[in-house]
Amino acid sequence: MLTHLDSQGHAHMVDVTDKALTFREAVAEAWVRMRPETLQLIQDGGHPKGDVLAVARIAGIQAAKKTADLIPLCHPLLLTGIKVELTTEGADAVRIVARCKLSGQTGVEMEALTAASVAALTIYDMCKAVDRGMVIESVRLLEKLGGKSGHYQAETAQ
């Protein structure tokens, strides 16, 4: 059953009032594929807009904190930890891994997914002048800990 639908099929925010506070953590990833020259420009720090990966990291952190403003039925959460890591992979990709955690009444999967997505979009925004063909792909939940549904781990990473 979809928890965001009431008995008549109308969308609503899930009431978590009676749920216990528990530790919750989620990890999500996204990939940005680009021309090797674009990645080299990022790695060399030669981009005229500045440090692409640093700006994307901050954008991801900021996005996690704003998830409830972007996704209509998400609860505003008091996140206690947000970590966004960006690594270059091979000659043509950046991998983004976002980790969010808290002690709360609802999970942080959407916050981790939002952080990874916005970090990827920021890379695109900063580099689109030199590479409009970049591809954002494989945005997905890697792991979720805590809550009633327990532990989830995605099948092997790409």
Query: Looking at residues 30-39, what average pLDDT do you find?
Result: 97
The distance from CA 60 to its chain's CA centroid, rounded to whole angstroms, is 7
pLDDT of residue 99: 98
More confident residue, 85 or 12: 85
pLDDT of residue 60: 98
Q: What is the C-alpha separation between 148 and 55, in angstroms, rounded?
A: 35
pLDDT of 63 strictly over 70 = yes
The pTM is what?
0.90
Alpha-helical (H) ranges within 3-151 are: 36-44, 52-65, 67-70, 109-127
Residues known to be catalytic = 125
Specify burial of residue 54 (Cβ count, 10 A radius: 0-12, 13-18, 19+): exposed
pLDDT of residue 2: 54
Q: Quick one: which of 133, 132, 137, 141 has its CA closest to 113?
A: 141
